[in-house]
Structure 1
Amino acid sequence: MKKGTFDATERILAHAEEDGEFRRRLLAGPDAAKAAIEQELGASLADGHRLVVHEETDTETHLVLAPRSKRSAEERAAAKNGAASLEFLKKTMHDPAPPRRPAAPKPGGDGTHLPSPSALSEEARRCIRRGLAFLASAVDANGAWHCIRFNLADSSIPRHYERPAFISALCTLALESSDEPQAKALRDATWNYIAATMEHPGFWRYYRHLPPDLDSTSLCALVVGSHPWIALGRNITRMLANRDADGRFMTWVLEQDEPDVAPSFRIEADPVVNANVIAYLGDRAETNAAQQWLHSLIADDRIEGTSKWYPSTVAIYYAISRTVVRTSPSLDQLRPLLAERILGLAGEDGEFGNPLETAQAMSALYNVGSLDSVDASRETARLLDAQRDDGSWPELLAFGDATLRWGLIGQIGHGSESVTTAFCIEALERLTRAL
């Protein structure tokens, strides 16, 4: 369901004013209300969530209380001082993570003699299924994906697993490319985890000691779009209020009762964050300025180095390409320009970097309709060669500050074998269609 200038709640209320039968169905109980709203929106709402519609009268006023916070008052108080509280930070960490495993050994040969396209396609299908089996063993039973937090400046600092909803959403969106039953099972399990971590009226935060952020919120909302809070646009007003003077979306949602530990090192307008917000909110007057900003960055070839959170230029283009697909046709004019920029990142041997960057480049080219600009057989073979015997692809930097340009607080990287594997599966699903 696409969002536009007329949000779902406004649409339902307006229809109820004009159509007495529709109003009657809304007031006939949760099941009838849900069925009426689903018909009105043309989309299914998630099961397991009662949808109650009230009608005020001249003699009856309804005051609806927001849900109780999922965090205790003590936790909220501790979070406000999280940047200075080592003990609280320790509580936000998860299990210590093992050392990074070496990548798969490179195969022999010069890569000029490749199997036939049909043989490559069959092998890619086997590798996709091995990758999904690995993910099924790595993702928690509750649907939570993990990544590893590590220090890019000092490898002696311990590595930690972390399971923010953001990681689960990032990887689940990549798996939307696959029709494999195991991919669907993973998506279903992760849906429940992401919905369970949502804070009213539809926001997510990366750590408990950080405020909600629009990057996590946009990606998570894209995954659980059938949840009534999201389907009815409960979070939209607050998101639209989080723009700078130029109309670009700011990363952190800072309010009086939220931790104020981010401002000293944040970059307010991040291109990937803005792309993800646009992908969720859609093409509307309130996102036009952010759309134009992204367009100018790409047209002027100024993307490199503009993101604090995503140091890879390929990753930035990948996120924007996903937004192009989700908001089509509003950003379709970017398709040829994005293809040109992505292809310009290839090295002399045609490589786009490590397996994660290669995977994101392939998926981005697919998104903008230019996957035929590369040798699909060669790129498929490269990704297949990088897979380990257990079905995983190597842990690589997915986001964080690789250049250390943002100072002490920015010298943190995040990635995992699961993250790389999800993106490689997405790329192989795209590439097999071009073989």
Structure 2
Amino acid sequence: MLDQWEILLMAPTSARLQSSLVKGRRALESLQSRDGSFAFFQQQPIDHAFMPGGPPTDPLFATLTVLLAAGDQLSKPSLERAVMSIAIRRGADGHWNYDPALGIPSDSDDTACALAVLARFSPEQIRVSDAKMLRSYWRSPAGPFRTWNSQELPWDRSDRDDVVVNCNVAYALKCMGAPLNRAERCCLESMLSMADQRSRYYCSVLTVGYAARRAGFDPYLSKCVRLASSALSLNSLEMAQSLLIAGGQDASLSDALLTGQASDGTWPAAPWCDGEGFRPWGSRAITTALCLEALQQLK
């Protein structure tokens, strides 16, 4: 077991941290496509790699995730192109869709994340009606927010509700200056109090804590870290989320995250989200963005 002095020695030096951030930012921008988006890959069935080779995957959700995590660390031209790639994906009804090629309805998660991106980086594109539109996903009278923009089965079933999605809706409303009302907040607090495993669509319980922290629900974070700590090992994506949840107060985890950075400045792809009957999606861009977010917190 490490003693206090060994842990202090493992804390990242300023020079090492800065070097990692510079390399990581450069690498993240190198992963950006010409249209401003960041690629998304489905895990392959044989070698479990997240690389091209399977069916094409829409890059929207990967781009949203990257910008919410590390948009403020991108250069201005890179950020502007990424935001534009999101803005042009808004549907005629005002919502966003994870991947139209899958034949699925638009959803509150992509819509919330897109609105949060616009509110943060291009607020002039937020419409007066956007907060009301996002609240149209609310299951009256007691909630929570539905995942799918459909009142038909199976999309409208309550087992499709997701605590991370609800946290992302809460975050978007906060970014737009329309924070949760009392009923909405009580509902989400109840969902978080019962969250003891991964959510419906996100692959790690740590993502519950990551989304809750971003939405301003700090009391539930320690439970997520405790649940994840029982695992034998964390991948880089989970390490980053754990650091963000803990406020960076883990020198050994910080050291492991820095050590895990590849020579090209990226961190390896890991499962981020999935769906019923689908293999997980992930990308180096998503992992790298969250690692940069976690390391930026250490400065």
TM-score range, shorter chain: 0.7 to 0.9
Q: Does 1:305 align with 2:197?
A: yes
Partner of 2:238: 357
Deviation of 1:284 (Å): 5.8
Distance 2:179 2:287 in 1: 35
Structure 2 unpaired stretches of 5+: none
Of structures 1 and 2, the one with the larger relative CO (CA 8 A, separation 6+) is 2
Partner of 1:252: 148
Distance 2:229 2:148 in 1: 36
Q: Which residue identity does 2:286 align to in structure 1?
A: V
Deviation of 1:363 (Å): 1.5
Return the TM-score normalized by structure 2: 0.82
Q: Does 1:387 align with 2:254?
A: no
Partner of 1:20: none
Q: Is residue 36–residue 84 contact of structure 2 (8 Å, CA) maintained in 1?
A: yes
Q: Does 1:215 align with 2:109?
A: yes
CA offsets 1:280-333 (integer angstroms, 9 cap, x no match):
12386874333212212334xx21336211131100110111011xxxxxxxxx
CA offsets 1:74-122 (integer angstroms, 9 cap, x no match):
xxxxxxxxxxxxxxxxxxxxxxxxxxxxxxxxxxxxx9487575x6221
Give 3-state SS (helix, strand or coil) of 2:159's partner: coil
Partner of 1:88: none
Q: Is residue 113–residue 172 contact of structure 2 (8 Å, CA) maintained in 1?
A: yes
Q: Is residue 201–residue 229 contact of structure 1 (8 Å, CA) maintained in 2?
A: no
Taking the TM superposition and a 5 Å limit, the aligned residue runs for 1:119-130 are 120-130=13-23
Give 3-state SS (helix, strand or coil) of 1:400's partner: strand
Give 3-state SS (helix, strand or coil) of 1:267's partner: helix
Q: Does 1:419 align with 2:286?
A: yes
Distance 1:270 1:292 in 2: 15
Structure 1 unpaired stretches of 5+: 1-110, 325-333, 402-408
Q: 1:314 to 1:241 in 2, by over 3 A?
A: same
Deviation of 1:249 (Å): 0.8
Q: 1:338 to 1:165 in 2, by over 3 A?
A: same
Partner of 1:173: 68
Q: Which residue identity does 1:298 align to in structure 2?
A: L
State the number of aligned residues.
285
Give the helix-richer structure, 1 or 2.
2
Deviation of 1:204 (Å): 0.7
Q: Does 1:274 align with 2:148?
A: no
Give RMSD over aligned pairs. 3.1
Return the TM-score normalized by structure 1: 0.58
CA offsets 1:331-358 (integer angstroms, 9 cap, x no match):
xxx42x2343244236379x87211111
